[in-house]
Amino acid sequence: MSAIVISNEQIDQVIQKLPSLSTVAMEVLRMIDSEGCDLATLEKKISQDQSLSARILRIANSPFYGFSGEITSIKEACVVLGMYTIRNVAITATVYMFFSPRMQKETIDYTALWKHALYVGTAAKVLARHHGYEQNLAFTAGLLHDIGKLVLEVCFPTEFSKVRQYRNVECCSVLEAEATVFGVDHTMVGAKLAAHWNFPSPIRAAIERHHAPDQGEHSPVVDLVHIADILSTIAEGKGDKELLLSYMSLGARQRIGLDLGKCEAILAEIEHLNASIAFD
């Protein structure tokens, strides 16, 4: 298959044309980052956007927060989860709400993408808890790690179908297939979008380097998401377990202190947490 190269200029043009995230969501993020923000004001602002409110409640009631089905209002979510977590949930909810209607128009499997995002977010949070890192940041970075794939699938659906065809023929990684078909891969595109939307630097790093944690400045969040991505792929039954484990960076494992012998227990925990999540 000959390469269908999408130039960096074309990628940049597409990303620059993408509108900003919802006005309410961006106001929520600015409010939380500013001094003097109180929960009552935050609750009132979030409640102005019904879609954002619904998605925040869905994520807040996911099993890994331990309040499954108990949080019934934005006020409760703000009080129980706190501003930092609400900030991260608002970022994630807004990104997936932004792309969802575009996916439906292009008959893209939104559920599969969202399911994998939740698996990786869950796995990153579990790993962070086991190894003493910030859990909510790891969760959010895991949820957002593949936003570059969203851009490629939504904005270049015809070309991305050729990525799947190439993988089926060549039995290669998605990065190799994307590089052949597009000339870039989803980590590069995701990094551009994360910069365009001014995501926090640890999340931007995880988006850009979750397949290459040993490149650039070492970051616990990058290492956690890299490992979480592989464990999630195993948990979803998408490949040979031993082969996938061989792709795991030794440096990333050593930096966070993960013993491969503990992977079975962590995999079981990931599967248990995700078993009760609704993936729509």
Reading the chain (280 residues) residue by residue, the pLDDT tens digits are 556 677 778 888 888 877 776 677 777 777 876 767 788 888 888 888 887 888 788 877 876 667 777 889 998 888 888 877 787 777 777 777 777 665 555 556 767 777 888 889 889 999 999 999 988 889 889 989 999 988 888 888 888 888 888 888 888 888 999 998 888 899 999 999 988 888 888 999 999 999 999 998 899 999 999 999 999 998 888 878 888 888 899 999 999 999 888 888 888 888 877 776 554 4
pLDDT of residue 108: 64
Q: Where are the chain's structural domains?
A: 8-17+91-274
Residue 83, pLDDT score: 79
3-state secondary structure the chain: CCCCCCCHHHHHHHHHHCCCCCHHHHHHHHHHHCCCCCHHHHHHHHCCCHHHHHHHHHHHCCHHHCCCCCCCCHHHHHHHHHHHHHHHHHHHHHHHHHHHHHHHHCCCCHHHHHHHHHHHHHHHHHHHHHHCCCHHHHHHHHHHCCHHHHHHHHHCHHHHHHHHHHHHHHCCCHHHHHHHHHCCCHHHHHHHHHHHCCCCHHHHHHHHHCCCCCCCCCCHHHHHHHHHHHHHHHHCCCCCHHHHHHCCCHHHHHHHCCCHHHHHHHHHHHHHHHCCCCCC
pLDDT for the residue numbered 64: 61
Gap between the Cα atoms of 232 and 271, Å rounded:
9
CATH class for the region spanning 8-17+91-274? mainly alpha
pLDDT at residue 222, as a whole number = 97
d(CA 12, CA 73): 39
